Amino acid sequence: MAIKIYNTLTRQKEEFKPLREGEVRMYVCGPTVYDYTHIGHARTYIAFDVIRRYLEHKGYTVLMAMNFTDIDDKIIRRANETGEDPKELAEKFLKYFLEDMKALKVKPADIYPRVTEHINDIIDFVKKLQEKGYAYEGSDGVYFEVRKFKDYGKLSKIKVEELVKGARVEPGEGKKNPEDFALWKKAKPGEPKWKSPWGEGRPGWHIECSTMSTKYLGESFDIHGGGSDLIFPHHENEIAQTEACTGHEWVRYWMHTGFLMVNGEKMSKSLGNFVTIREALERYDPEVIRLFVLQRHYRSPLDYTEEGLEHAKNNLERLYNTLENIRVAMERAEISFKWDNEEFEAYEAIRDGRKKFYDAMDDDFNTAEALKAVFEVSNAVNRYLTQVERPKESILRKAWEFFKIVSEVFGIFEDYFREEKAGEEEALIKLLIDVRAQLRKERKFDLADKIRDELRNLGIQLEDTPQGTVWKRIKI
């Protein structure tokens, strides 16, 4: 089944067709690193992590880039308040962000381009816009002339006239028109700055994403995403800059996440109503936070409540319980020579649950519906295990395989399945030690030594002690 994606650009679900067969190139706007990452950010990044995981699960090679805004007004302001160097401040919070994402089991992006390492690329981009007549230099910076770009407003559906009336414009003294936005800001005394054809200064916010995404993903790519607060002005301006520069369509699918809300307001650094990921992780397992996010569709708003997190915690426990039930039951499971009603019922429940899971994920990554399917399978397996004395191995294996898929896509139970693998490996080593002991008894020393040497080549060292043979891992 093909994947359908809700495209903010067309306000419709569309069948997903990547530009290159088998490959998906996606760019997700990263954080402005001036404070700790909060659960609101986590909502967005976990959502895109699962989207990316699902695309990979479906067989696509995903090339993902995420920027770091490591110089910007907010960073300079905060650094002035705390007396830190803006560069060090950004560096510190960038490191914390990566740690937080790792803790939440969010797979790292392939490339994390940072603004301060791409200043020359940004300058080149602005120069091109100036050459093409879309940008002009004002007293305090270089601006993009919005009215020159005919498609302006195509993403947010905001008209330039409304924009000016509603005063949704950025400040800037040197602008020709109120709706224009800064591509380059000339440095004020004491601000971090870089040399440019327009004097010393720094990039505006939007230009970094146009520059760095096209540098790494090409002049056209598949998916661009972020929280829905980025639709306007950030993504609207990104489109204007990039399409003005290249003269053709840039991004195929625009994806935006709903907000994480606290008491009816967006959780945000600016409003100060946030719970950091670190605080949340002191109280909840990372997988609880993931499940809490996945309980809602990524486009819907999500309320941050204790009940919501407790609900996720209980749900996660229920699923772990089922996994343990299956694992333990495997030991008493038998090969099937015939099926009874219980087997047919369990089989059909797993089959239907698995289909529902894929249908839900194909339908614009509907994790909330997919999770329902996971519980249907979980309930059916538990029911089956209470019904039969000797469960059939094939039924359990089907359920197990399904949970492995859920694990891969949702980024939960990963350690559990890893331990299972480690357990299998240990059992195999023990088996080889027994075989070697038997060979030695039979005085087949050549073969016995071969086992020892081959294992050593794999990083497993055997040692014969008076108590028997023991093994340890060694560096090879």
Ligand X SMILES: Nc1ncnc2c1ncn2[C@@H]1O[C@H](COP(=O)(O)OP(=O)(O)OP(=O)(O)O)[C@@H](O)[C@H]1O
In the complex, what is the shortest distance from the CB of residue 109 to ligand X, in angstroms, rounded to a whole number? 13
**Partner in contact with 209, chosen from Zn ion, ligand X, none, beta carbon below 5 to 8 Å by kind:** Zn ion
Angstrom distances, CA of residue 92 to CA of 36, 98, 290, 460: 9, 10, 25, 40
The answer to whether 31 contacts ligand X (rule: CB under 6 A) is yes
Cα–Cα distance, 181 to 205 (Å, whole number):
10
In the complex, what is the shortest distance from the CB of residue 225 to ligand X, in angstroms, rounded to a whole number? 8
* 325 Cβ contact list (under 8 Å, min separation 6): 381, 382, 385
| Count of residues of this chain found to bind ligand X when the rule CB under 6 A is applied | 19
Stretch 147-186 residues interacting with ligand X (CB under 6 A): none
Among 29, 155, 346, 380, binds Zn ion (CB under 5 A): 29
Cα–Cα distance, 47 to 165 (Å, whole number):
35
Among 146, 230, 289, 316, binds ligand X (CB under 6 A): 230
Per-residue binder mask for ligand X (CB under 6 A), 35-64, x = binder: -----xx-xx--------------------
In the complex, what is the shortest distance from the CB of residue 261 to ligand X, in angstroms, rounded to a whole number? 7
Among 116, 196, 257, 407, binds ligand X (CB under 6 A): 257
Among 8, 32, 116, 378, binds ligand X (CB under 6 A): 32
Cα–Cα distance, 370 to 353 (Å, whole number):
9
423: left (phi over 0), alpha (psi -120 to 50) or beta: alpha
Q: Which stretch binds ligand X (CB under 6 A): 19-27, 223-231, 394-402, 444-452?
A: 223-231
In the complex, what is the shortest distance from the CB of residue 34 to ligand X, in angstroms, rounded to a whole number? 8
Would you say 245 is a known binding-site residue?
Answer: no
Cα–Cα distance, 164 to 79 (Å, whole number):
32
| Residue 270 or 457 having the CB closest to ligand X | 270
| Residue 207 or 293 having the CB closest to Zn ion | 207
In the complex, what is the shortest distance from the CB of residue 234 to Zn ion, in angstroms, rounded to a whole number? 5
* 147 Cβ contact list (under 8 Å, min separation 6): 160, 177, 179
The answer to whether 29 contacts ligand X (rule: CB under 6 A) is yes
The answer to whether 226 contacts ligand X (rule: CB under 6 A) is yes
Among 36, 149, 259, 413, binds ligand X (CB under 6 A): 259
Would you say 269 is a known binding-site residue?
Answer: yes
In the complex, what is the shortest distance from the CB of residue 473 to ligand X, in angstroms, rounded to a whole number? 41
CA angle 285, 289, 290 (to 5 degrees): 110
Cα–Cα distance, 206 to 142 (Å, whole number):
13
The answer to whether 209 contacts Zn ion (rule: CB under 5 A) is yes
Would you say 331 is a known binding-site residue?
Answer: no
The answer to whether 115 contacts Zn ion (rule: CB under 5 A) is no
* Other CB atoms within 10 A of residue 44 CB: 25
Cα–Cα distance, 208 to 216 (Å, whole number):
12
CB distance 198 to 186 below 8 Å:
yes
Q: Any idea which residue has 């940008």 for tokens?
A: 135
Length of the chain: 476
| Residue 9 or 209 having the CB closest to Zn ion | 209
Would you say 234 is a known binding-site residue?
Answer: yes
Q: What is the largest CA-CA distance in the chain?
A: 94
Cα–Cα distance, 445 to 474 (Å, whole number):
23
In the complex, what is the shortest distance from the CB of residue 260 to ligand X, in angstroms, rounded to a whole number? 4
Both structure tokens of 307: 């009940």
In the complex, what is the shortest distance from the CB of residue 347 to Zn ion, in angstroms, rounded to a whole number? 47
**Partner in contact with 43, chosen from Zn ion, ligand X, none, beta carbon below 5 to 8 Å by kind:** ligand X
**Partner in contact with 387, chosen from ligand X, Zn ion, none, beta carbon below 5 to 8 Å by kind:** none
Both structure tokens of 400: 């197990």
Cα–Cα distance, 369 to 74 (Å, whole number):
38
* 10 Cβ contact list (under 8 Å, min separation 6): none
In the complex, what is the shortest distance from the CB of residue 29 to ligand X, in angstroms, rounded to a whole number? 5
Among 109, 212, 260, 294, binds ligand X (CB under 6 A): 260
Measure CA of the first residue to CA of the last residue in the chain; give whole Å.
45
Would you say 224 is a known binding-site residue?
Answer: no
| Residue 209 or 346 having the CB closest to Zn ion | 209
Strand order in the sheet with 23-28: 61-66, 23-28, 221-227, 251-257
Per-residue binder mask for ligand X (CB under 6 A), 262-281, x = binder: ----xxxxx-----------
- For residues 463-472, one letter each, b for 16 or more C-beta atoms within 10 angstroms of the residue's C-beta and e for the rest, the string is eeeeeebebe
Q: Which stretch binds ligand X (CB under 6 A): 50-58, 255-263, 368-376, 438-446?
A: 255-263
CB distance 240 to 152 below 8 Å:
yes
Which residues contact Zn ion by CB under 5 A?
Answer: 29, 209
**Which residues belong to the annotated binding site for ATP?**
269
Binding residues for Zn(2+): 29, 209, 234, 238
**Interface with ligand X by CB under 6 A: which residues?**
29, 31-32, 40-41, 43-44, 226-227, 229-230, 257, 259-260, 266-270
